Copies of this chain bind each other. A is one copy, B any other.
């Protein structure tokens, strides 16, 4: 057998698509060889990081009053058919459970949940009675299933993916809209504060809403190839579903009203894809410190003579790091030093600690920081302290870098031709546009056709004012919109 290549060297900027497939394989993030097309096996290196991501998200959501539920993964056909726009949007993508055992037909087909509104709302109609029950804020951590007909790409688009879905009921439209603002804050606390992923929170145009929603808001970020990827989205469902599912409450005056509802869906496996794509470099992965599967790896440097001595000291350092809740390991494989260095660089571990006899004598260790490539000599007794404080700095410098890239990735254009040129360079285009109601759907179609890109919407919460004309039809512009190629 040929010796496996030790280094990972693919130019991410020039060939992102190849970089992505190769790192998924090489770092053992997910295996595509499972016997069903479009389904992958998520491997420990991604699962450990995604578990951390779930922890952060759930902590934020619980602090904001969302209670956790586990709903069945199957939804009865009658629930699924209850709201007509929703059916239209999701029906083509549903997997159906129809039989049991040796082929006995079920009395009623069950959908593998593509999303769970129609499961949650059935129970909301039982549980919610009075204005005192509101707001009713819930969530579940779950995997969902969609029979994707587009080409699948691991973590980005597959037939089963992992997310959190919140479902919430309110006593007024105003309070539902407030929830969208809170979701935007949550998105910031998670994507930006923990993962250093920059994003714009868009209000989607009316022609691009979640099936059954009145408004859709979504966080978009920019991938290295200049394509936008949609991350968490929030939907103001309004009263459409609550009317279909009879979710009512008695208000303070004793009158019955239908609830207003919202949902929010951070797809953790997709966010993971964006995270590794944005931070990685030509040598492999770079994990933000807080969600790294492993935060520090100790590489003991020894020969036959001093092996025992070095390993005992390495063990001590390991215990000390773990005591300080730093996820750590010692590399005890029989690889060469060079192989070990390349391997952990490729895997994206934030800190590598090199420990040999010389270092031990001086009570010091060499610490290598993956994202900056800097090496420093630190006192062994202060390693945990150093790594915890340097971990915060790592996050800050990832934020600085990605913010700059993101800002440079957005440019203005005042004509279709200019927009086209910028899109070809991998930029997101900011442009003036006639509107985002259904009246402007035709202009959007024109753009979609001529630019092979989509209108992502208007910045949510910021009233960007246009001064000129619509880039598509030339009429007076009413909105500032963003156009981008997308995943």
A residues sitting closer than 8 Å to B (CB atoms) are: 31, 33-36, 39-44, 47-48, 51, 67-74, 76, 78-79, 91-103, 108-110, 112, 119, 122-123, 126-127, 143, 145, 147, 160, 162
Other-chain contact of A79, B35, B100, B119 (Cβ < 8 Å) = B35
A31 contacts which chain B residues (CB < 8 A)? Answer: 123, 126-127
3 nearest A-B residue pairs (beta carbon): A42-B70, A44-B67, A39-B72
In the complex, what's the smallest C-beta–C-beta distance from A221 to chain B, in angstroms? 23
- A112–B74 CA distance with the chains assembled, in angstroms: 10
A40→B126 CA distance, assembly (Å): 14
Contacting residue for A72 out of B36, B48, B102, CB 8 A? B36
Say whether B72 contacts A43, CB under 8 Å: no
Task: Kindly identify which residue among B48, B76, B143 contacts A68, using a CB–CB cutoff of 8 Å.
Answer: B48
What are 17 A-B contacts defined by CB distance under 8 Å?
A33-B123, A33-B126, A34-B71, A34-B119, A34-B123, A35-B78, A36-B72, A47-B70, A72-B160, A73-B143, A74-B160, A94-B100, A95-B97, A96-B99, A96-B103, A97-B98, A100-B147
Docked CA distance A93–B101 (Å): 5
Cβ of A79: which chain B residues have Cβ within 8 Å of it?
Answer: 35
Contacts of A68 in B (CB 8 A): 44, 47-48, 51
Chain B residues near A36: list those with CB within 8 A.
72, 74, 76, 108, 110
State which of B69, B100, B123, B145 has its C-beta within 8 Å of the C-beta of A95: B100
- Once the chains bind, are B69 and A47 in contact (CB under 8 Å)? yes
The answer, among B44, B122, B147, for a CB contact under 8 Å with A101, is B147
Residues of B within 8 A of A70 (CB): 41-42, 47, 143, 162
Identify 10 new A-B residue pairs, CB closer than 8 A, beyond the known A31-B126, A47-B70. A35-B78, A36-B76, A48-B68, A51-B68, A74-B112, A91-B102, A92-B101, A93-B101, A96-B99, A112-B112
Interchain nearest-CB distance for A19 vs B (Å): 23
Q: Kindly report how many copies of this chain are found in the complex they form together.
A: 2
Instruction: State the main secondary structure of chain A at its contact with B.
Output: mixed
Residues of B within 8 A of A119 (CB): 34, 41
Asked whether A112 lies within 8 Å of B126 as measured between CB atoms, the reply is no
By a CB distance below 8 angstroms, the chain B residues around A112 are 73-74, 97, 112
* Complexed CA–CA distance, A76 and B35 (Å): 7
Identity of the chain B residue whose Cβ is nearest the Cβ of A112 in the assembled complex: B97
Question: How far is the CB of A185 from the nearest CB of chain B, in Å?
Answer: 21
Beta-carbon contact of B97 and A102 below 8 Å: no
Which chain B residues border A35 with CB–CB below 8 Å? 76, 78-79, 122
* CA distance in complex: A51, B127 (Å): 23
- CB atoms of B71 and A41 under 8 A apart: yes
Question: How distant is A149 from chain B, measured CB to nearest CB, in Å?
Answer: 9
On chain B, the residues within 8 Å of A96 by CB distance are 97-100, 103
Residues from chain B with Cβ under 8 Å of A160 in the complex? 72-74
CB-CB under 8 A from A69, the residues of chain B are: 41-44, 47
User: How far in angstroms is the closest Cβ of chain B from A319?
Assistant: 13
Nearest CB on B from A168, distance (A): 14
Nearest B-chain residue to A31, judged by Cβ:
B123
A160 to B51 Cα, complex, angstroms: 22
Whether the pair B41, A123 counts as a contact (CB closer than 8 A) is yes
Docked Cα-Cα span, A481 to B40, in Å, equals 44
Alpha-carbon distance between A72 and B389 when the two chains are bound, in angstroms: 38
Chain B residues whose CB sits within 8 angstroms of the CB of A41 once the complex forms = 69-72, 119, 123
CA distance A211 to B306 in the complex (A): 51
In the bound complex, what is the Cα–Cα distance between A31 and B127 (angstroms)? 10
Whether the pair A92, B97 counts as a contact (CB closer than 8 A) is: no
CA distance A35 to B110 in the complex (A): 10
Bound CA span A278–B323, Å:
35
What B residues does A67 contact at CB under 8 A? Answer: 44
Residue of B nearest to A58 (CB): B51
CA of A96 to CA of B105, assembled, Å: 10
A25: min CB distance to chain B, Å:
12
A65 to B35 CA separation, bound complex (whole angstroms): 27
Shortest C-beta distance, A231 to chain B (Å), equals 20
List residues of chain B with CB within 8 A of the CB of A78. Answer: 35
Set of chain B residues within 8 Å of A74, measured between Cβ atoms: 36, 39, 95, 112, 145, 160
Closest to A146 in B: B100
Least CB distance from A156 to B in Å reads 16
Q: Are A97 and B97 also in contact (CB < 8 A) when A41-B69, A42-B70, A143-B73 are?
A: yes
- Complex CA gap A74/B36 in Å reads 8
* Chain B residues with CB below 8 A from A95, complex form: 74, 97, 99-100, 110
